Structures are given as C-alpha cells and as structure tokens.
Amino acid sequence: MANTIIHSQPALGSMSDTTLAVHGSFLGNTVFEELACRRTGSGTYILCCIPFACPDLAMGDEFTVASREGRLHVADVTARSGHSTFFVTVSSKTANGLSSVLKALQEVGCRWEVHADIFVAIDVAESISEQDCWDVLLQEYHAGRLGDIQALYSFSTAHSRLIVQHPHATWSGRANAIAYARISDEQAYWEQIHVESRDNRLIVCCIPFFIYHMALGDEVVAEVILPSTPPFVPNHLKHIVKHSPNYTFRVYAQHGDLIDRIGREMLSLGCDIEIYANRMIAVNASEGIKAEVQNALNALEDNEEITYEGTEIKSNNHIDYRRLPMETQRRANILD
C-alpha cells in the first residue's frame, strides 16, 4: 500500500493481535498508518504502538474506528490510557543525531518508535514526567539535533482538555504543521490550528472554532515560542497576512441530532464543516454561497433551534477570540 506508515516493531507488539490501516495525514501527505492494536471484543481497540499520523491518540488508548468513503478513520476515543505522545524530526545536519536523541529519551524512561530514520514518535507513560521529556527535547533542539520546530508537537492526556483540536481538519491532506492560538484569558485554553507550511508561508487548513477574523485558506504568520511549562504549544499564531475568499460561521445547538441535521443542510449548500464536542459546527462558506448560508441560519435561529455567529470584516488582520455570551456557552456546553 503506497504512502503507508508501518510499525515494524510496535512498542507493545507482544500485546497486539490485529492491525488497522487507518487513514490520516502525516506532514502534508495523505497516508495510511498500520496501527498495531488489541481487540477488546466489544467493538473497540487498544492502541499498542506509538502513533505518527493520529495526533489525538496515545499508546494504550481505547478507541473505535469508522469507515468514510471506503477508508478507516479513528472515530472516537472511549478511554484514555494516561499516556502522552510527542513527535519530533531529527536533523540530518548533525552526525549521530538520532542516537543522541534516543539515548536522552531513554534516560528519562520514554519509549519511542522511529519512521524513515528521522521521524520519532515518543510515548510518555503516566508514571513519567512530561516536563522531563519536554526538557530533553528542548535540550536536543538547542543542540541542533532536532529539525523544524513546526514539526514538534505533543498530545498530552493531562492537558488535552486545555487544547481544542481539529481531529478532522478540512484540508488534512495539505496540513504539514501545527500552530496554536490562545482562546481564553482566565485559563490556558488554546486552539490547535492545522496549517500548511509552504515557501515560508502558513496556510490555514481547518475551520476555526473560536478564533475570529480567520478562515480556511487564510495566510498567517506564527512565532516560535518554546514554553518551559505545560501545555507545550511551541508555535503561536500572530496575525493574518492575506485573507482567503472564505467566510466562517459558528453554529451552536443543544442536541447532537440537531447538529447532524444542520451539518447535512450546510453540506447540501456546498459548505465545508467541522464539528466540536457535538454541540458546535464551524461552517466554511465561499463568497458565492455566503448569503444563502446566512439566510438558512437566520431561519433556524428564528425558530429558536440554534444560536449562530456570522462573518467578520475581511480587513481585520488580528487573530483574536471573543468571549461567548453566557447563554451561548450554556446551550452549547463548550469550554467547561
């Protein structure tokens, strides 16, 4: 199978009894990752390897899969293992870079798997300090043994509730980096934005849930900030350089079945959608269908089925968030 990541030596290979070829995105390439798993007998699987192309999974997590367009995707994580996943690239410019990185990780008790000799997926067990692992990675990065910092990311079970993720980014096949934007002053909430890094530019590859003035396809600038404490979010969005012709609507509803119905209606109008917490839809509309989408949402809001927020002025280049009205937060049950 072309463009497939194979776990030839899965970290918990002795526990594995099946392999799932799951569709994902790895550094801008659409790939299949052959996940080593153990079947539970109740329709779920336990992950027995350290994932490369599934950034919202960690080893030991229990999850389900679903088929979309003939391809398997991770559908839901039903139980967290407490493990965390870090992913780094090793610089090809430094001799013995890989062996040095692996030795440093071993000293703090981490497990790892290597793909194509330069990509390292790292498992941090619940009994191991994420801070110790992060400190090692920062040390290796400053020593020149790690590659592009934009390819350094982490999934932390302990801090996952602080980071709003896009598990099904609209342009997942184009995304090859992760950036972050803060979405709250009171708590360290962040939104994880999938971007395409190309020719020193970053193109937004997902529909923002909580970031205003930004839309799918916008060109943005990020600043590398290496945090010393969790949550470990190294690549911070700063501002928008160029707006795309797309517009973002945010739809909040109280019931998941209503979200499904509205999602189907938006798709029928030609929109792209992403769903968060089964209470919110981020809708991407092109210039040509923006008015039709707004009319449809107005009708739903008039019937008191939804609350929605419309588009913003395209001349605003600030990346910002806005406190949601209390009634909207209550109805949507988001960002607890």
For the stretch 117-149, pLDDT in tens is 888 999 999 899 888 888 888 888 888 888 755
pLDDT of res. 288: 93
pLDDT of res. 227: 67
pLDDT of res. 328: 44
Task: Please tell me the class of the 84-155 domain.
Answer: alpha beta
pLDDT of res. 44: 96
Determine what percent of the chain is predicted with pLDDT higher than 90. Answer: 37
pLDDT of res. 332: 45
Q: What is the pLDDT of residues 33-87, one digit of tens each?
A: 999 999 998 899 999 999 988 867 899 999 999 887 788 888 888 998 989 888 8
pLDDT of res. 160: 59
pLDDT of res. 142: 84
pLDDT of res. 186: 60
Q: How far apart, in whole angstroms, are the C-alpha atoms of residue 92 and residue 110?
A: 22
Q: How far apart, in whole angstroms, are the C-alpha atoms of residue 250 and residue 210?
A: 8
Tokens 């928008």, located at residue: 240
Per 3-state DSSP, the chain is made up of helix, strand and coil in percentages (nearest 5) of: 20, 40, 40
Q: How far apart, in whole angstroms, are the C-alpha atoms of residue 172 and residue 274?
A: 12
User: In the structure, what pLDDT confidence band is assigned to residue 1 with cuts at 50, 70 and 90?
Assistant: very low
Whether the Cβ atoms of residue 250 and residue 274 lie closer than 8 Å to each other = no
CA distances from 176 to 20, 27, 84, 171, 284 (A): 23, 4, 20, 10, 21
User: In the structure, what pLDDT confidence band is assigned to residue 158 with cuts at 50, 70 and 90?
Assistant: low
Q: Residue 273 above 90 pLDDT?
A: yes
Task: For the domain covering 246-332, report its CATH number.
Answer: 3.30.70.600
Whether the Cβ atoms of residue 209 and residue 191 lie closer than 8 Å to each other = yes
Per-residue pLDDT averaged across 108-120, rounded? 92
Cut 0.75: pTM above it: no
136 phi and psi, to 5 degrees? -65, -45
Cβ neighbours, 10 Å, residue 256 = 12
